[in-house]
Amino acid sequence: MRFDIMTLFPGLVDTVLGESVIGRAQKSGAITVRSHNIRDYSKDKHHRVDDTPYGGGKGMLMMAPPIYDCYQAILEMAGEMPRRRVVYLSPRGKVLDQAKARELAELDHLILLCGHYEGVDTRIIEEIVDEEISIGDYVLTGGEIPACILVDAVARLCDGVLAAPECYENESHSAGLLEYPQYTRPVEFRGRTVPEVLLSGHHANIDKWRLEQAKEITARLRPDLLS
């Protein structure tokens, strides 16, 4: 899957997505991530990308033309892609959840637009954006961190990014429940021991215990997920 990120701060997303699992997935070719500096598409002699809002009001808005030209350049670079979507990261959007991540992981091409300042001229949303997505009900200074979060959540579901599909079969939110507790060595830590069943080697009992624990933890920490 290919991800293109339109931003005024490409270094920010490159740094975050260049490390760890997502960085390795880029190196192995399982996914492609490209950041694009919207400022490179400004035709203004001072490379301006923002201006004051018509009608007055505080702050600056990102202008539509450089974003549009950046978008057109991405379409050219990526070529024909059957399943493509353009997403604007915004507190107005539907809040990201695991189902949305799974839906987006079916695409071939995800183009992300990161706003800054007071946001973007609304006409760029009308013209190129398919969907607005939020990472939660709070406001940030830019869409870059939300974009990195979205790429991470989607990319880890793409083939070849994690070792095996089992990696996300039992984790929190995969089946509408939170994950059961996990233990590794040592068998005793500050007087706390590993539950006997996990040392028993009895896989049916272990599965049963884990499911019970997942239900109990979900009821206690996130009862809203059960309704």
- List contacts with ligand 4GO (CB under 6 A): 89-91, 115-116, 119, 134-136, 138-140, 142-143, 146
With respect to ligand 4GO, which residue has the nearer C-beta, 66 or 115? Answer: 115
- Taking residue 96's Cβ as centre, other Cβ atoms within 10 Å add up to 20
The least CB distance from residue 117 to ligand 4GO, in Å, is: 6
Q: Encoding tokens for residue 137?
A: 């009900």
- Taking residue 72's Cβ as centre, other Cβ atoms within 10 Å add up to 12
Q: Encoding tokens for residue 219?
A: 């009821």
Q: Encoding tokens for residue 169?
A: 């079969």
The least CB distance from residue 150 to ligand 4GO, in Å, is: 9
The least CB distance from residue 142 to ligand 4GO, in Å, is: 5
* Per-residue burial over 180-210, b = 16 or more CB atoms within 10 Å of its CB, e = otherwise: beeeeeeeeeeeeebeeebeeeeeeebeebb
With respect to ligand 4GO, which residue has the nearer C-beta, 112 or 177? Answer: 112
With respect to ligand 4GO, which residue has the nearer C-beta, 33 or 96? Answer: 96
Short-list 54, 40, 38, CA closest to 116: 38
The least CB distance from residue 149 to ligand 4GO, in Å, is: 8
User: Which residue, judged by CB position, is nearest to ligand 4GO in the bound state?
Assistant: 115
With respect to ligand 4GO, which residue has the nearer C-beta, 10 or 119? Answer: 119
